Amino acid sequence: SIPSLALPVGVTLDRYIMHKQSSFPFATGELSQLLRDIALAGKIIHREVNRAGLIDLTGGMGIQNVQGESQQKLDVIANIRFKRALKNGGEACAIISEEEEDIIYTGNHHGKYIVAIDPLDGSSNIDVNVSIGTIFSIYRRVTPVGTLPTMVDCLQSGRKQVAAGYILYGSSTILVYSTGSGVNGFTYDNSLGEFILSHPDISSPKDGSIYSCNDGNWDMFDEPVKAYLTDCRRKQYTARYIGSLVGDFHRNLLKGGIYLYPPTAKSPQGKLRLLYEGFPLAFLAEQTGCVATDGVQPILDIEPTSLHQRTPLYIGAPVMVQALSGYLEAGQ
């Protein structure tokens, strides 16, 4: 018989992962190991983030990444830390990252998994002590184990994710992830060096009254988006926008809200990256009863065609996203 998955608040992430694995009789433990590697990278980045102002880790690198953004020192360091943890861990055969143009081969051709990462989300907030995060998503490779992974392994649809999550370096650090059977959050206890289950089986409100978007882009929004936002104002909803997607998403997940990054003249396909931001957060959203769409279809149904493709993103409480979709459909 399959033992109950329920574990009390206060258990460590390691124990939780072990317990979950033991309830799947044929599980080999590789995904568990991969999740532990990601948690380790998260602890290391937590440490770097916390002392960034003391050890000259703030500021830019003076170069642009493949996205055309000026890369911050912590973007680069988080990317390196993640790659190192995943290479050493051995379970990932390839990594794709917001910060690198091409597939990163780990050398572990026998690894079964592909990991997509936004190593540091919210770069513009690093130097001003505002919440930032890491976003990850995991796929099983489709090419034979033992061979060099290819683009086919990396460009799978969002529905093929086997796990996804984020680490939010906020007023406390929290790791939130899902392997497809619910979402759980683990708060980092600095004194123990452990992630502790603090938010078991997260469910998100069906409706909410928080909306999050960059209001400075207003003039570039399409009419239906403006109409929806006007409605939010008329209802005197609360506007909350940090500029760290992971922080805005986490708040809305717990409190009930909608996050919008519509297409703009500057980013006609939207700004956010489908593989590193859209897919993982949409996976978590659906797991908690929320909805994520690009305005045309569910984010998870999109078939990606390139590593760094962008997408409009409307994500959050189902009642709110449906109301917005009503405007978008009427506008077509």
Binding-site residue numbers are 98, 118, 120-124, 214, 241, 259-261, 271, 277
Cβ-based nearer residue to ligand AHG, 95 or 245: 245
Residue 91 touching ligand AHG (CB under 6 A): no
Q: Contact with Mn ion (CB under 5 A): which of 69, 194, 201, 231?
A: 69
Q: Which stretch binds ligand AHG (CB under 6 A): 13-21, 143-151, 240-248, 296-304?
A: 240-248
Q: Contact with ligand AHG (CB under 6 A): which of 60, 170, 243, 326?
A: 243
Choose among Mn ion, ligand AHG, none what residue 244 binds, the Cβ cut-off being 5 to 8 Å by kind: ligand AHG
How far is residue 132's CA from residue 169's CA, in Å, rounded to a whole number?
Answer: 5
**331 neighbors 224 (Cβ within 8 angstroms):** yes
Residue 121 touching Mn ion (CB under 5 A): yes
| Terminal alpha carbon distance of the chain | 52
Residues between 127 and 186 that touch Mn ion (CB under 5 A): none
Write out 87-140 in H/E/C secondary structure.
HHHCCEEEEEECCCCCCEECCCCCCCEEEEEEEEECHHHHHHCCCEEEEEEEEE
Rounded alpha-carbon distances, angstroms, from residue 151 to 32, 163, 178, 278, 307: 25, 19, 25, 19, 9
The site map against ligand AHG for 115-154 (x = CB under 6 A) is: ---x--xxx-------------------------------
Q: Which stretch binds Mn ion (CB under 5 A): 96-104, 154-162, 203-211, 249-257?
A: 96-104
Angle made by CA atoms 296, 297, 300, in degrees to the nearest 5 = 145
Q: Contact with ligand AHG (CB under 6 A): which of 14, 30, 48, 69?
A: 69
Nearest one of 244, 236, 235, 258 to 324, comparing CA atoms: 258
DSSP-assigned letters across all residues of 260-275: EE---SS-TT-SEEII
How far is residue 218's CA from residue 206's CA, in Å, rounded to a whole number?
Answer: 26
Q: Residues within the annotated binding site for Mg(2+)?
A: 98, 118, 120-121, 277
Cβ-based nearer residue to Mn ion, 126 or 328: 126
- The residue nearest Mn ion at its CB is 121
For residue 59, give the 3-state DSSP assignment: coil
Angle made by CA atoms 34, 81, 152, in degrees to the nearest 5 = 55
Q: Which stretch binds ligand AHG (CB under 6 A): 4-12, 76-84, 243-251, 319-327?
A: 243-251
How far is residue 231's CA from residue 225's CA, in Å, rounded to a whole number?
Answer: 10
Chain residues binding ligand AHG by CB under 6 A are 69, 98, 118, 121-123, 214, 243-245, 271
Chain residues binding Mn ion by CB under 5 A are 69, 98, 118, 120-121
